[in-house]
Amino acid sequence: MIKKISKLLMVLLPLTFVLYFCQEFILSNFFNHLEFKLTTISIYFFHFFTVIVSYVLLVIVNKYFFPQTGYAFLAFGIIKMGLSVYFLMPVIQSNLADKVPDVLSFFIPFFLYLFLETIFSVTLLNSSNLNDNQ
């Protein structure tokens, strides 16, 4: 169980730092004239912790309730979507003239993290040997 989570962390930590600094560089050099309601660091903290929490919970479900792992993956995805809407409420309720840059700066990393989480989750789901799930 710890090995599976540490594999995710070994990919997720460097990816988070690289994506954060790339986005911060792009926003500060090319879009410095725009007003953003959400900070880049808060976006990446949100994505990092939601991926970690959902994957840890998925590994726990996989270990103790192996047949329900797929359903748990879907449930955690729906919960993450709801949390994303809640996280974006300051942008939704703001009176910014253009909300698209804020939404894009949130959802581009969202889909990258979702892709990474899906890869790790599918690998977990495909572990057909029950001894791998111990």
Q: Tens-digit pLDDT profile for the chain (134 aa)?
A: 788 889 999 999 999 999 999 999 998 888 888 888 889 999 999 999 999 999 999 999 998 988 888 899 999 999 999 999 999 999 988 887 888 888 999 999 999 999 999 999 999 888 755 555 54
SS (H, E, C) the chain: CHHHHHHHHHHHHHHHHHHHHHHHHHHHHHCCCCCCCCCHHHHHHHHHHHHHHHHHHHHHHHHHCHHHHHHHHHHHHHHHHHHHHHHCHHHHHCCCCCCHHHHHHHHHHHHHHHHHHHHHHHHHHCCCCHHHHC
Rounded to two decimals, what is the model's pTM?
Answer: 0.87
Annotated domain spans of the chain: 2-126
Using CB atoms within 10 A of its CB, is residue 32 exposed (0-12), middle (13-18) or buried (19+)? exposed
- Please check whether residue 48 is in contact with residue 65, taking contact to mean a CB–CB distance below 8 angstroms: no
